[in-house]
Chains A and B, each alone.
Chain A
Amino acid sequence: MKVFKKYLKVWLKLTALAFSIDLSNRFTAIFAITGKVIRFLFFLGFLFLLVGRTETLAGYDLYQVVFFFLTFNLIDILIQFFLRGVYYFRGLIVSGDFDLVLVKPINPLFRSLFQRTDAYDFLTFIALIVYMIIFIATGNLVITPLGVILYLVLIISSFILGLAFHIGFLAFGILTTEIENIVWIYRDLSSMGRIPIDVYREPLRTFLTVVVPVAVIVTFPAKALMGLLSWQWVVFSLVMSGLFLFVSLRFWKYALTQYSSASS
């Protein structure tokens, strides 16, 4: 309990520091947020235009398709909000400042992942939640209470999966310092989840379910809400999250032993 409180305090302080920096970079922030919002609106408009006309996409109606897209954004924002620290990791390793992180009585993985909470993303997160609630309330989406519970559970599961991947990236970064590119590839693959993965053909679809489980991360929660996900797949998702998390933590531990630290 005491440990939890300490980590919470440290996380809050780290977030406050990150926000101070972001606040002084207002100029950048405005453009970045505006860009993200515009990109979101463009694609949303595009979906309305497209599926509004064709009525279905891979068997889903307009509202379902849009909901997939909204879920994708929800998870993407959540991960970006918490784990933006990953983008600053390479700098730590290359400069050798990571040494000074390692000697401190705080878990270096925790520090590296959560050191740069994106407070601005919190705003977009709220905005998205609001829009989603409005969308569900006024749309033709058929949802059940069970669906909502499963949705929330699977969103958390998806976050854990995403977390596992990011831990893997950090470990990879320790071993090779090549972290930027791999994170961006992951994000591009994830963006394939903007539309229901049923759209994709095999073997891509299996790839997106098992190897880079975009399907599990994005499509599953949305399907669960709509009552379209069988309980086997729910279990599959939870087991997968646990498994990936376990493996990634092992990988991180291994990477630390291989860390040779930049020479002075």
Chain B
Amino acid sequence: MSIITVKNLKKHFQVHKKEPGLLGSVKSLVKRKYETVRAVDNISFNINEGELVGFIGPNGAGKTTTLKCLSGLLYPTSGSVSVLNYTPWDRKPEFQKQFALVMGQKNQLWWDLPAMETFILNKEIYEVPDEKFKKTLTELTRLLEVEDILEVQVRKLSLGQRMKCELIAALLHTPKVLFLDEPTIGLDVVMQKKMRDFIKEYNRRYKSTIILTSHYMGDVKELCERVVVIDKGKIVFDGKLEEIIKKFADHKLISVVLAKEIDPKKLEEVAEVKEFDYPRVMISVKRKDVSAVTAKILDKLPVADLNIEEPSIEEIIRELFTGKNYA
């Protein structure tokens, strides 16, 4: 049974363009040129309970806008959305008590007070019973290792500590659905790993449905089996992560280490060179040509080492977004 159903969702924004300078300002007072930005342009998908889905896409692709529609922040231009059998933008309290939204750069913690105070406030807002609150709080603080900073003013915490507390604040009411928008942005490598581990553990332990948007491939690789790729408001791919490679990478990479110096022109004769930094050579080869080209390389060039690799997911996605391969 899908917990989240999105059908033909469209969200268009009317943005007015203003010419620079004084003349532009005056002109914009009289006649405004409006442009339609199709932030979300007819997307549909279903998500089942307990899934951990990653939304990836370049900046401005529409991932955050989609999340905002799912959490009821925005009214869609058209289409339907159902989350836990509620229409999000009705903003019914019963619905709001069952999901949580965490946005990487936005805060709900009161800046001048210890995080604990915001937790208690949320307890009242979400009407969490005392016992449950205590239990959940203890579990979460243990998982995130923040027991000793709860009484410290939020403004004095580091970004990583703050993000952890923001997460706790969002999870105190044990939501069934969790929307995470760029949760690891700005965090250092160690912190990112800790966050990912936590999210994975949370999903496993509480069986909550999680949608995560990120433009860090690391987040997606580690956490999401299923991935939805969005670009320019449209879904480009929706399925397992491994499938992306199979579907979109029509080439493989051959990395060669040369035994001795050669004339670069000779390299060109053999294959299409992607990178050449003596003694390493990176060659891009269509899948079907791999054997043939490999043979040619071993034959014509002084090879010390040779490796056949899959292109990285990052690279595939990058190529996806720069306009190729929307097969």
Contact, chains A and B (beta carbon distance below 8 A): yes
Residues of A at the B interface (CB closer than 8 Å) are 6, 9-10, 13-14, 17, 20-21, 24, 95-97, 99-106, 257, 259-261, 263-264
**Contact stretch, chosen from B112-120, B294-302, B306-314, B318-326:** B112-120
Closest to A3 in B: B93
For this complex, 8 residue pairs linking A to B, each with C-beta atoms less than 8 Å apart, are A17-B110, A100-B107, A102-B73, A103-B99, A105-B97, A105-B127, A264-B64, A264-B182
Residues of B within 8 A of A20 (CB): 113, 117
Contact residues of A: prevailing secondary structure: helix
CB distance from A100 to the nearest CB of B (A): 4
Q: Enumerate chain B interface residues (CB-CB to A < 8 A).
A: 13, 64, 68, 71-75, 91, 93-94, 96-97, 99-101, 103-108, 110, 112-113, 117, 120-122, 124-127, 181-182
A99 contacts which chain B residues (CB < 8 A)?
A: 68, 73, 101, 103, 106
Given contacts A97-B108, A99-B106, A264-B103, contact A257 B75 (CB under 8 A): yes
Question: Chain A residues near B96 (CB, 8 Å)?
Answer: 103-105
Residues of B near A9 (CB, < 8 A) are 124
CA–CA, A260 and B108, complex, Å: 19
Closest to B89 in A: A257
Q: In the complex, are the beta carbons of B113 and A103 less than 8 A apart? A: no
Q: How far is the CA of A13 from the CA of B123 in the complex (A)?
A: 10
Which of B91, B99, B104, B110 is A264 in contact with, Cβ under 8 Å? Answer: B104
- Residues of B near A257 (CB, < 8 A) are 75
Name the residue of chain B whose CB is nearest to the CB of A16: B117
Smallest beta-carbon distance B61→chain A, Å: 11
Q: A102-B73, A103-B101, A264-B181 are in contact. Are A17 and B117 (CB under 8 A)?
A: yes
Min CB–CB distance A158 → chain B (angstroms):
30
Tell me the smallest distance from the CB of A257 to a CB of chain B, in Å: 6
Within 8 Å CB of A24, what residues of B? 112
CB-based nearest B residue for A11: B124
What CA separation (Å) do A64 and B277 show in the bound complex?
92
Cα A210 to Cα B113 in complex, Å, equals 43
Taken together as a complex, chains A and B put the C-alpha atoms of A264 and B181 apart, in Å, by: 9
In the bound complex, how far is the Cα of B124 from the Cα of A9, in angstroms? Answer: 7
**In the bound complex, CA of A102 to CA of B106 (Å):** 13
Question: What A residues does B113 contact at CB under 8 A?
Answer: 17, 20-21
Find out whether the CB atom of A260 lies under 8 angstroms from the CB atom of B13.
yes
Q: B124 — which chain A residues lie within 8 A by C-beta? A: 6, 9-10, 13
Q: Which chain B residues border A14 with CB–CB below 8 Å? A: 121
Q: How far apart are the CA atoms of A94 and B100 in the complex, in Å?
A: 21
Q: For the complex, what is the distance from the CA of A104 to the CA of B98, rounded to whole Å?
A: 10
Residue of chain B at shortest CB distance from A100: B108
Inter-chain CA distance A17–B121, complex, in Å, is 9
Chain B residues near A96 (CB-CB < 8 A):
103, 105-106
Complex contact A97–B93 (CB within 8 A): no
In the complex, chain B residues whose CB is within 8 Å of the CB of A261: 68, 73-74
For residue A10, which residues in chain B have a CB less than 8 angstroms away from its CB? 121, 124-125
A13-B117 Cα distance, complex, nearest whole Å: 9
State whether A13 touches B108 (Cβ < 8 A).
no
What CA separation (Å) do A254 and B299 show in the bound complex?
A: 74
Contact A103 B72 (CB under 8 A): yes
CB of A105 within 8 A of CB of B126, answer yes
- Contact check: which of B91, B94, B106 meets A95 at CB < 8 Å? B106
For residue B64, which residues in chain A have a CB less than 8 angstroms away from its CB? 263-264
Q: How far is the CA of A20 from the CA of B99 in the complex (A)?
A: 29
Distance in angstroms between the alpha carbons of A119 and B72 in the assembled complex: 34
CB distance from B91 to the nearest CB of A (A): 7
CB contact between A100 and one of B94, B103, B127 (< 8 Å): that residue: B103
Closest-CB distance, A84 to chain B (whole angstroms) = 15
Q: Which of B103, B105, B125 has the most CB of A within 10 A?
A: B125
Bound Cα distance from A261 to B71, whole angstroms: 13
